[in-house]
Each structure stands twice: as C-alpha cells, then as structure tokens.
Chain A
Amino acid sequence: MELKILDLSFSYNSAKTLDGIVLNIKEREILCIIGPNGSGKTTLLKCMNKKLKPTTGTVLVNDINILQMDRKEVAKNIGVVPQVSTVSFPFTVHDLVMMGRYSHKGRFDTENENDRAVVYQCLARTGIAHMADRFITEISGGEYQKAIIARALAQQPEILLLDEVTLHLDINHQIEILELVKALSEEDNLAIVMVLHDLSLAARYSTKTIMLQKGRIFAYGRPENVISIENIKDIYDIEVEIGRSSKGNYLNVIPLSIIRNGDEITSATMHHSFRPPLSDLKSQKP
C-alpha cells in the first residue's frame, strides 16, 4: 500500500491554498500534518480523497490516479474520520457503522451476513460493541468519535484520514483515540494521515511529521526534528520550551510567549499595547 502525492497545488480562487506538496506514506506509518490555522491542512486532506480536485499535480493510491476512481472506489481505499460533527437523527450505532458498507454494495443489495460480521468486528475493534443498539444522539462525544472511526473501518480501507479527531474530547478520550489509531497502524497495517493541533500529541503519535505554512511544506521528517523550538517560532510566532517527560520520554511542547514583529510580548505588554482593557471603554462613557 502506498499513497503518493506529486507536486500538488490547489487554489479556491486566485490565491494558492496549497503549493508544491510532495509526500508519500506507506502502511504502518502515521503521518501528522501540523501548521497554523489557514495553512491548508484540511484542504490537503480533502485533496487526498478526491473531495477537492487539485489544480495541478496528482494523488496516487497504489500508483493509480485517484481522479480515475469513482467515489465508491475511493471509499474502498480511503476511510475518513471528519472533525467532530453532531447528528440529530436517532440512528443506532450499528446503523451508523453499517453506512460504512455502502461502497461495497450495489443498488439492489441488502446487508448480508458478511456486512454484519464486518460491522461487528469494527465495533469490537473500537471498543463499542456493547453499545451497538444505543442511539447516536444519546452517546458521549468520545463514544460518537469511536463510532465514526468504526464506520470508516467498515469501509475496509487501507488508508485512514483523520481531521482533528481529538477536538472537544477530554484528556482521557484523546489518548484513548490516539492509542487506537496507533494500534490500527501497527496491528492492522493501515496507513494513517492525521491533522493535529496539539504539538506534543503530534510528536508522540506520528512516525513522520509535516509542517505546513501558507500552503507550502515548511518542514518534513521525523517528529523530533520537525517539532523544534526554531520551526515553531518561525511558523507559529511563539516562543516555546521543549522538554522530555521523565516517564516515557515523550516530547513536551510548552508555550511561553507570543512574538509580534520580532518582539516578545509578555502578558503585561500585550495588555496595554494590543488590547486595551474594557475599563478604558467604560471610563469614556458620557
């Protein structure tokens, strides 16, 4: 299994949202995309599964151009876990995961023994088999996220794309979901691409990290090389301290202060020069 991106660029209108992206990812790898808001992370993910058509360049799945595949073919190769969404319709968890079987079914096919077996397996893999009959409107955010992952797995893909899966989850569920992702990569031989905002988690769970700045690759490589004090300062405009945890030796990014126009802004200076306190406004009232 291999996903290759060759010289990809994309623009919504005139300005380029992505420019000259080259990367490849194989099974048992976890590629983490990091970068500031608006740097093109989500756009890149959307180009990878044909939701957006790149302006130039190609996306190859096992050396086949993704633009030559129809939607069902894409879904059979690539599963997607979108940013946390809420659903108001009372489907059961089982129904939701069964929707992942869509790409394997013809117009007149109904669900068969095999589909049910796959769905059960995916529910078990994500640890939610016991709540198969619960309504998705009545489960917690963490459980819902697992159900969505199970649905993506039910597509039986070789590649899994995850867009900020830990958003809005508590610290326990964040680690649980990311450990699951790691297990899927190591034990089920999936290739994984994920967008993460938390740099410490990105460093801990990725095998490769790519740092985007304004649609271009700023740095690409092993996470401990990419997530460095200098790189973070350059693209996020923030001074950080990077340490190692005493247990587990995990990389740990601690933000210190924002940099603007080359000057470090402490909480005291930010307070007055950039954001006058509300009390100033009150005193101006007639």
Chain B
Amino acid sequence: MKKKLFLIFLGLGLLLTLLTTLTIGPVRINVLTVVKILCSVIIDISQTWPDNFQDIILNVRLPRILLGILVGCALSVSGCSMQALFRNPMASPYVCGVASGGAFGASLVIVLNASQSLIMPVAFFFSLVTIFVVYYVAKTGSKVSSETLLLSGIALSLFFSAATSFLQYLAEEGELRQIIFWLMGGFWASSWSKVKIVIPVILSGTICLLFFYKELNILLLGEEQAQDVGVNVEKTRKIILVLAALVTAGAVAACGVIGFIGLIIPHIMRIFVGPDHRILLPASCLCGSIFLVWIDTFARTLISPTELPVGIITAMIGVPFFLLLLRKRKKLSGF
C-alpha cells in the first residue's frame, strides 16, 4: 500500500515536472498561461496570450519535454530489466551493443552528407542489427547463456566504436563536430515528427515489459529455480531482451547516447521500493522521466543560449547523488 502511494507520488511528480519545465526557458511563461495553452488544444478557450507563446510551448518546449519523458522512461525500464535478466548490477540498456550500433549508423549518415532526417531511421536500423548479431552469436543450439550475451555485446560494441572512430577520422571539421555532438546525446533537435516516430516503439515496448514483472522477480532467484516454479527461461529471456533492446534503440535513435540514466535510476528505485518489479518497473519509468526532463532543462538553460550536452550533466549530478544513496542503504538494493 505504501509502495502504491509512492507510485502515485511519482506520477504527480511527473505531472508537476511537465508543467514547471514548460514555464522555464529564455522566455518565462507563467504556469496559468501554460495550462491555458495546453487546454486550448483540446477545448475552445479564447486566446489571451501572444501568438509566439503558443508556438514556444506547443512546438518548441512540449515536444522536447515529451521526448525527454519517453527517453528517460525507455532507458530506465530497459536498464532495470537488463539488470534483473543478467542478475548483474552493472548491466545497462547498452550492454548488448545497441548504443554503439546506433552511433555508427548516425555517424555514417553524417559523413555521407545524407539528409538529416535519415539519421534517426538509420541509427534505429543499426541498433536492431547489432542486437540480432549479438543474439545469434550467443545462441548455441536452443540455449543462450547470459555470459556469452554480455561478452558478445561488449565485443560488438568495441567493433562499432572502432568503426565510428574510423568515420570520425575520415570526417571533415563540421561533420566531426556533428558526430561528437550526436554521440554525447541531447534533445536540441526535438520535433513533433521525432516524437511521433518514437512514441509507438517506446510506449508499446515499455507496456509489454511492465507485464513481465513476475518473470523478472523469479529470475532474480536464478535460472534453475525459475525453471522449478514454471518459468520457460529461454523464451522469457529472449522476449525481454528483444523488448528492452527495441525500447533502447528507439531512445538512442531519438537523442543519441545518454549514459547513466539506465544504470542508476533502477538502483535508486530499488533502494526506495525494494526488488519487486511490479512496483520497481513503473517506479523506474516515472523517476527516469522526471530525472531526465529536469536534467535537460538544466542543459538548455544553465549557460543559455548555448546548450550543454545532457550526458555530461546526468553524470555530474547523478553519480554523486547515487554514491551517497548507495553508501547509506546498500543493503536494501540487493545487488
């Protein structure tokens, strides 16, 4: 019961985050106006605000914040699933090489001077290719061992990192800057079209993962015991892996590689709500969204009008906070 209240609390936190961060930016718009503008989309309200306010809220800030919510949720839920699946506290959404594959795809588009709009689909495509290669390398007969998965994931990551480095070496000044910016991850190029592509992938993947809470709990006891109580370990592992990778690929394609969220948020939530994935998964989603939206708000306002890459701030704020929590309540996390 206490834990359900915690979820409701996080949900309200996300709503509050959405409303507050919409007001923040070079142009300050008060909350009341923001609410009115949002409502005007659905119901007819007589306009009492300047036209450019409407544009700033609906076409600049809202898609960016929504993308932050989606990506934060995607990285946290897939990080949380991967940690349980591999029973490894160091597992992150990127363990299977999804990030490096996507980064290579994006760099390729940039170096080839192809259209900017191609970056996202190509990055997504290469992320998926990486997952399937990793999976088939790790598969012997009908079995897939988690050690081989981790190792082949690392190997393929290294391979694609090398390939990306090679592209950087070939790239010209302007392209190089663009690649590096993409690799650091960020939301500067958010738009409704991006949100529309990412929403179905991340939302459907996340919802499916939430329904695997029983299996994830049982898998924490180990493969053998999971089989004893009736879990089809091979099949379950395959499904969870693909779902988590899909969701991550969506996030990477949308905003590049943002580290730490997928690793740290699940650990923080484990400290607060314990190891039960029925609560842990949604809590991670909500907390990841809140955290990333705030971090992005800092990134775009701290040294405005210039932007900082989000990845740098996630690490700088997230890591000390996490270490502090870890020292205090290590026992409750279980890892």
Bound together: yes
Binding site for B on A (CB under 8 A): 49, 51, 70-72, 74-76, 79-80, 82, 85, 87-91, 95, 99-100, 102-103, 105, 107-108, 137, 151-152, 155
Contacting residue for B275 out of A70, A76, A85, A91, CB 8 A: A91
Measured between beta carbons, the chain A residues less than 8 angstroms from B221 are 85, 87, 89, 99
CA distance A108 to B213 in the complex (A): 10
Measured between beta carbons, the chain A residues less than 8 angstroms from B332 are 90
Answer yes or no: B218 CB below 8 A from chain A CBs.
yes
B225 touches A72 (CB 8 A): no
A88 touches B229 (CB 8 A): no
Answer yes or no: B331 CB below 8 A from chain A CBs.
yes
A90 touches B225 (CB 8 A): no
Answer yes or no: B211 CB below 8 A from chain A CBs.
yes
B211 touches A91 (CB 8 A): no
CA distance A46 to B233 in the complex (A): 15
Which 6 residue pairs across A and B have the least CB separation, nearest first? A75-B230, A103-B230, A89-B334, A80-B228, A89-B275, A72-B230
A selection of 6 A-B contacts at a CB cut-off of 8 Å is A72-B232, A79-B228, A88-B334, A100-B229, A102-B231, A137-B331
CA distance A49 to B227 in the complex (A): 9
State how many angstroms separate the Cβ of B63 from the closest Cβ of chain A: 33
Contacting residue for A99 out of B211, B217, B274, B331, CB 8 A: B217
Answer yes or no: B55 CB below 8 A from chain A CBs.
no
Contacting residue for B335 out of A88, A95, A105, CB 8 A: A88
Number of chain B residues close to chain A: CB under 8 A: 22
Measured between beta carbons, the chain A residues less than 8 angstroms from B229 are 75, 99-100, 102-103, 151, 155
CA distance A229 to B127 in the complex (A): 65
A82 touches B224 (CB 8 A): yes
CA distance A87 to B214 in the complex (A): 17
Measured between beta carbons, the chain A residues less than 8 angstroms from B211 are 107-108
B232 touches A70 (CB 8 A): yes
B225 touches A82 (CB 8 A): yes
A95 touches B232 (CB 8 A): no
Contacting residue for A85 out of B225, B230, B231, B276, CB 8 A: B225
Binding site for A on B (CB under 8 A): 211, 214, 217-218, 220-222, 224-225, 227-232, 274-276, 331-332, 334-335
Measured between beta carbons, the chain B residues less than 8 angstroms from A49 are 227-228
State how many angstroms separate the Cβ of B104 from the closest Cβ of chain A: 36
**Given A85-B222, A107-B211, A108-B211: A91 and B217 within 8 A (CB)?**
yes
Measured between beta carbons, the chain B residues less than 8 angstroms from A51 are 224, 227-228
A71-B232, A85-B225 given; 7 more Cβ-contact pairs under 8 Å: A51-B224, A79-B228, A89-B220, A99-B214, A102-B230, A105-B214, A107-B211
A90 touches B230 (CB 8 A): no
Measured between beta carbons, the chain A residues less than 8 angstroms from B231 are 71, 102
A102 touches B220 (CB 8 A): no
Measured between beta carbons, the chain B residues less than 8 angstroms from A89 are 220-221, 275, 334
Q: Which of chain B's residues has its CB closest to A70's CB?
A: B232
CA distance A212 to B227 in the complex (A): 25
Q: Give the interface centre of A71, A75, A82 by most chain B CB atoms within 10 Å.
A: A71
Measured between beta carbons, the chain A residues less than 8 angstroms from B217 are 91, 95, 99
B276 touches A91 (CB 8 A): yes
Measured between beta carbons, the chain A residues less than 8 angstroms from B335 are 88
CA distance A53 to B129 in the complex (A): 33
Measured between beta carbons, the chain A residues less than 8 angstroms from B227 are 49, 51, 71
Measured between beta carbons, the chain A residues less than 8 angstroms from B228 are 49, 51, 75, 79-80, 82, 152
Measured between beta carbons, the chain B residues less than 8 angstroms from A100 are 229
Measured between beta carbons, the chain B residues less than 8 angstroms from A82 are 224-225, 228
State how many angstroms separate the Cβ of B224 from the closest Cβ of chain A: 6
CA distance A244 to B230 in the complex (A): 42
B331 touches A102 (CB 8 A): no
State how many angstroms separate the Cβ of B261 from the closest Cβ of chain A: 22
State how many angstroms separate the Cβ of A132 from the closest Cβ of chain B: 15
Contacting residue for B218 out of A70, A79, A99, CB 8 A: A99
B232 touches A102 (CB 8 A): no
State how many angstroms separate the Cβ of A111 from the closest Cβ of chain B: 10
State how many angstroms separate the Cβ of B116 from the closest Cβ of chain A: 41
State how many angstroms separate the Cβ of B185 from the closest Cβ of chain A: 31
